[in-house]
């Protein structure tokens, strides 16, 4: 049964996307129903699989040494769950948001194709399989950015494609090189490098650094971060949500697999590569927060925020400590629920109030109290105020840095995280304050316009999840700590 579910989770989004692409554009209700049915079945299959033992299944062999093979472990299950549930809630919201578009079926199809590519990455058993699906994730998600077909969206999609191709080239170079010094490319906790690496250590260190930077392009790691603030503002809000919260984390998963399952944490611990990677991640955290603080376009502010927050995850991974890795994995789940919520809020402001800039949001809480209250809960989680999930993940990130034993960086990491948290409060909380308390001279708002339940309900649910992951997240934290212990 677990092997059947393994294939089902992979094929269902691709088959569903193909069916949607073939439906008549006039059958809007059938298109919406089919889209939500596929997402619901995918989420159900993932939920069922979470309670079954791990499975493995070879698909085909390109050569004797290159086999496309599926399997799962704890890390794969985490990303599977985040992806399936995140796409489901974004999809429910998209049904109403995309009602004004004449190309819903096309948009839904590309969303499902993107989900299928991500599931393939989550289920990959080896580096070759993961790289193939990593490339597919780029090609199949680019049309989400391109959807409106305006000159701005075309430029943004091309920028996304070029940055991703540049990153994938570096990742492919790393894949070729580590393959020649590995006994196998199958994912094995602790790494698979053979004894010959000692003679070529400097070469391997350089190549691994390039590979991490290459995979990091998808995650917005400096210097290949520029596509995020360009792509998010022009993409539809549901697309921005999954791009930021889920698709961008394909880069995080790839880095986890390369560093902890192919190279091994011991190979990098204490080396100049670790210092460079941590420095790049910290620079990205600070730079993203500063740019978000200065940005007035709401979705672009959230895009810069994603640049910063996804690098929180990378900071934890690059500490190469149990607490840091657990904190990074926990932030994968926390950031997903929070950032999907925030981007859907931005979409609601666009659809219901036609407001796209932060400076236009004074008094918005009078018209959309549930939406803005949900935004506030998610914002507190992103800042890291207890007991929200963001606080728990950042607590472990700080502990991991302090346990790393790295000179300067072991105390610089908590300082940068704290500064970034203050900047996050500076670019999110004023929206709440001005939204609910615009001042006595602000014109009275006489109506409430939250939109339909399919728009505000996913937002409220995601805000609740972001809070509950912090209050009742003990079992999840313990599970991720056990995974981190096996990796480091």
Q: Which of 281, 274, 289 is nearest to 315 (CA)?
A: 281
Three-state secondary-structure class, residue 26: coil
Lowest mean pLDDT of 5-14, 335-344, 440-449, name the range: 440-449
Structure token pair of residue 47: 């939920």
Please report, for the chain, the start and end positions of each structural domain, with discontinuous segments joined by +. 269-488
Q: What is the pLDDT of residue 304?
A: 92
Q: What is the pLDDT of residue 444?
A: 58
What percent of the chain is predicted at pLDDT more than 90? 53
Distance CA 456, CA 454 (A): 6
Q: What is the pLDDT of residue 360?
A: 86
What percent of the chain is predicted at pLDDT more than 70? 97
pLDDT over 90 (residue 331): yes
* pLDDT band at 272; cut points 50, 70, 90: very high
Among the ranges 324-333, 402-411, 445-454, which has the highest mean pLDDT value?
A: 324-333
What's the whole-number mean pLDDT along residues 207-220? 92
Q: What is the pLDDT of residue 307?
A: 92
Distance CA 447, CA 31 (A): 32
pLDDT over 90 (residue 80): yes
Distance CA 181, CA 177 (A): 7
Distance CA 295, CA 298 (A): 8
Integer-rounded Cα radius of gyration of the chain? 21
Q: What is the pLDDT of residue 340?
A: 94
Distance CA 278, CA 485 (A): 20
Q: What is the pLDDT of residue 79?
A: 95
Q: What is the pLDDT of residue 449?
A: 67
* pLDDT band at 446; cut points 50, 70, 90: low
What's the whole-number mean pLDDT along residues 339-348? 92
Q: What is the pLDDT of residue 443?
A: 65
What's the whole-number mean pLDDT along residues 122-128? 91
Output 112 or 105, whichever has higher pLDDT.
Answer: 112
φ, ψ (nearest 5 deg) of residue 235: -80, 150
CA distances to 219, 335, 386 from 466, in Å: 21, 8, 11
Buried b (16+ CB within 10 A) or exposed e, 422-431: ebbbebbeeb
In contact, 327 and 321? CB cutoff 8 Å: no
Q: What is the pLDDT of residue 447?
A: 61
In this structure, the dihedral spanned by the alpha carbons of residues 398, 401, 402 and 406, taken in order and rounded to 10 degrees, is -160
What's the whole-number mean pLDDT along residues 12-26? 83
| Side-chain half-sphere exposure of 99, counting CA atoms within 13 A | 14
Is 63 exposed, middle or buried, given 0-12, 13-18 or 19+ CB atoms closer than 10 A?
exposed
Structure token pair of residue 89: 């809630």
pLDDT over 60 (residue 445): no
pLDDT over 70 (residue 24): no
* pLDDT band at 364; cut points 50, 70, 90: confident
* pLDDT band at 448; cut points 50, 70, 90: low
Q: What pTM was estimated for this model as a whole?
A: 0.93
* pLDDT band at 470; cut points 50, 70, 90: confident
* pLDDT band at 29; cut points 50, 70, 90: confident
* pLDDT band at 488; cut points 50, 70, 90: confident
Lowest mean pLDDT of 108-122, 191-205, 334-348, name the range: 191-205
In the chain, how long is the greatest CA-to-CA distance? 74
Give the rounded distance of the alpha carbon of 467 from its chain centre.
18
Other C-beta atoms closer than 10 Å to the C-beta of 39 total: 26
pLDDT over 70 (residue 67): yes
Per-residue model confidence as pLDDT tens digits over 286-322: 999 999 999 998 999 999 999 999 999 999 999 999 9
Distance CA 379, CA 431 (A): 10
Structure token pair of residue 82: 């985040």
Per-residue model confidence as pLDDT tens digits over 133-160: 999 999 999 999 988 888 888 999 999 9
Per-residue model confidence as pLDDT tens digits over 155-198: 999 999 999 999 999 999 999 888 888 888 888 888 888 877 77
Is 127 exposed, middle or buried, given 0-12, 13-18 or 19+ CB atoms closer than 10 A?
buried
pLDDT over 70 (residue 71): yes
Output 451 or 318, whichever has higher pLDDT.
Answer: 318
Buried b (16+ CB within 10 A) or exposed e, 142-151: bbbbbbbeee
* pLDDT band at 201; cut points 50, 70, 90: confident
């Amino acid at each position: 049964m677990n092997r059947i579910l393994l294939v089902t989770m992979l094929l269902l989004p691709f088959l569903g996307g193909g069916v949607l692409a073939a439906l008549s554009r006039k059958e809007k209700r059938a298109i919406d129903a089919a889209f939500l049915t596929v997402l619901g079945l995918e989420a159900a299959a993932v939920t069922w699989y979470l309670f079954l033992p791990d499975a493995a299944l070879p698909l085909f062999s390109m050569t004797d040494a290159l086999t496309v093979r599926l399997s799962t472990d704890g890390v794969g299950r985490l990303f599977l769950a985040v992806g399936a549930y995140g796409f489901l809630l974004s999809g429910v919201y998209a049904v109403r948001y995309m009602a004004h578009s004449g190309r819903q079926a096309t948009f839904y199809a590309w969303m499902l194709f993107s989900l299928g590519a991500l599931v393939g990455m989550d289920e990959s058993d080896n580096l070759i399989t993961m790289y193939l699906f990593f490339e597919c994730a780029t090609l199949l998600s680019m049309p989400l950015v391109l959807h409106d077909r305006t000159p701005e969206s075309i430029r943004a999609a091309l920028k996304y494609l070029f940055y991703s191709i540049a990153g994938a080239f570096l990742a492919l170079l790393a894949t070729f090189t580590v393959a020649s010094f590995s006994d196998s490319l199958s994912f094995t906790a602790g790494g698979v490098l053979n004894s010959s690496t000692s003679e070529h250590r400097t070469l391997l260190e350089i190549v691994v650094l390039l590979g991490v930077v290459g995979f990091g392009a998808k995650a917005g790691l400096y210097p290949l971060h520029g596509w995020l603030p360009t792509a998010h503002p022009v993409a539809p809000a549901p697309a921005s949500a999954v791009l930021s919260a889920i698709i961008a984390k394909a880069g995080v998963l790839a880095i986890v697999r390369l560093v902890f399952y192919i190279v091994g944490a011991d190979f990098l611990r204490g080396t100049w590569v670790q210092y460079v990677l941590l420095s790049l991640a910290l620079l990205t955290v600070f730079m993203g927060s500063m740019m978000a603080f200065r940005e007035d376009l709401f979705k672009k502010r959230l895009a810069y925020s994603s640049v910063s927050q996804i690098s929180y995850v990378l900071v934890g991974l690059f500490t190469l400590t149990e607490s840091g890795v657990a904190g990074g994995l926990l932030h994968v789940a926390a950031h997903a629920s929070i950032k999907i919520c925030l981007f859907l809020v931005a979409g609601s402001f666009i659809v219901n109030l036609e407001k796209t800039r932060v400076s236009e949001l004074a008094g918005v809480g009078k018209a959309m109290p549930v939406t803005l209250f949900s935004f506030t809960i998610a914002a507190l989680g992103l800042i890291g105020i207890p007991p929200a999930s963001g606080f728990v993940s950042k607590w472990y990130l700080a502990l991991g840095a302090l346990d790393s034993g790295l000179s300067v960086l072991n105390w610089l990491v908590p300082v940068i995280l704290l500064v970034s948290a203050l900047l996050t409060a500076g670019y999110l909380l004023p929206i709440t304050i001005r939204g609910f308390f615009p001042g006595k001279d602000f014109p009275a708002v006489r109506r409430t316009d939250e939109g339909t339940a399919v728009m505000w309900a996913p937002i409220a649910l995601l805000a609740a999840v972001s809070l509950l992951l912090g209050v009742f997240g003990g079992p999840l934290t313990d599970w991720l700590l056990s995974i981190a212990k096996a990796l480091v």
